[in-house]
Amino acid sequence: MLQRYLHDAIDDFVVEHGDFGLERLDGDEADFGRMCAALESVPFLSAKKCVVLDRPGNNDRFLESAEQVFQNIADGVEVIIVEPQLDARTVYAKYLKKHTEFHSFSELDDVSLEKWLRSYANEKGATLDSATARYLVQRVGITQQALKNELDKLIAYDPKISKESINLLTEPTPQSSIFALIDAVFSGNVTRAFAVYDDQRAQKVEPQPILAMLARHVHMLALVKSAPSDLGPGLAKDIGQHPYAVSQVRVVARKISMRDIQTTVAKLRSIDRDDKTSSTDLDDAIKQFIISLSAK
């Protein structure tokens, strides 16, 4: 959403004033003096100038002097500031919110992602129902830019988006597959669990990263299971996870006990130790792990 807004804002300026007056600077590369010069210099051969500053807050001197810098902006200069990671507690952030046309693009939860996908599809003249939008998120993952790219591809193929076209044109992300794997394991569905695992191996995902993803997801599962039920949506922020990921883990957490999670952690720790200290077949060890938990 941020990239779409930025693209549209730049396009609007270029259409009206041409690209001669457009200047983009990266806060990680441009020094403080260069950024100040861009903001303080009047437009040349153009009625207006647009300066796009990407992450200027990463420059300590700019961060400390931002209020003074903004007061020195030349007439006819429009400024677009992009801060992907803005600490709302800082004086800098509070100044921007108070004195600029401020737009916040926060991560979307699963429901919001589905609504956004349907809205975007509608803008493009395509049809996408709620169930299919949810399936696309489960398969492709929660990264909004990746979802947009996949949806653009699906729309070009057939404006009526279906599960069949999603299966044909997209690949499941490792993270979404690990959700499915864990759910299948704790549901006792060993056939489905092996199908998900074999699919990952067929896509050249090695056992080591699969083991690492299992460990991360089980860790999240333990946090969700042990958290007070009244935390609601705030839990995702408290444990530093995406709301959609937490919503998926909640589904599994309802099916199992904390003892199940402790057993799973012990098994994963044992597999990891054996992999690092002996010539164990990690691929076979993970399959045995799936069988042992699915058959409990």
Contacts of 133 (CB under 8 A, 6+ apart): 113, 114, 117, 118, 121
The answer on 179 and 160 residing in a single domain is no
| Confidence bin at 216 (pLDDT 50/70/90) | confident
Q: What pLDDT is recorded for position 231?
A: 63
CATH number, residue 125: 1.10.8
**CATH code for the domain of 59:** 3.40.50.300
- pLDDT tens digits, one per residue of 39-57: 998 887 778 999 999 999 8
222 and 158 together in one domain: no
- What are the helix (H) ranges across 77-226? 91-99, 110-123, 130-140, 144-157, 163-169, 174-186, 190-202, 207-226
Please tell me the distance from the alpha carbon of residue 291 to that of residue 286, in angstroms, as a whole number.
Answer: 9
Q: Rounded mean pLDDT of 83-101?
A: 87
* 44 shares its domain with 62: yes
Q: Please count the structural domains in the chain.
A: 3
| Residue 164 exposed, middle or buried by CB count within 10 Å (0-12, 13-18, 19+) | exposed
**CA torsion through residues 184, 199, 243, 264, sign:** positive
Tell me the CATH number at 242: 1.20.272.10
Is the residue at 30 inside a domain? yes
Q: At which of 153, 169, 185 does a domain end?
A: 169
Predicted TM-score (pTM) of the model is 0.50
105 within domain boundaries: no
User: For residue range 111-133, what is the model confidence (pLDDT) as tens digits?
Assistant: 788 888 999 999 999 999 999 99
Final residue of a structural domain among 49, 64, 99: 99
- In a domain, residue 277? The reply is yes
What does the alpha-carbon distance between residue 64 and residue 59 come to, in Å, rounded to a whole number? Answer: 9
Residue 118, in any domain of the structure: yes
Among candidate residues 49, 79, 99, the one where a domain is terminated: 99
**Is residue 183 located within the same domain as residue 268?**
yes
Structural domain contains residue 121: yes
The tokens of 93 are what?
């952030």
Q: Which domain holds residue 165?
A: 110-169
Q: Cα-Cα-Cα-Cα dihedral of 52, 56, 61, 67, to 10°? A: 70
Residue 104 lies in a domain: no
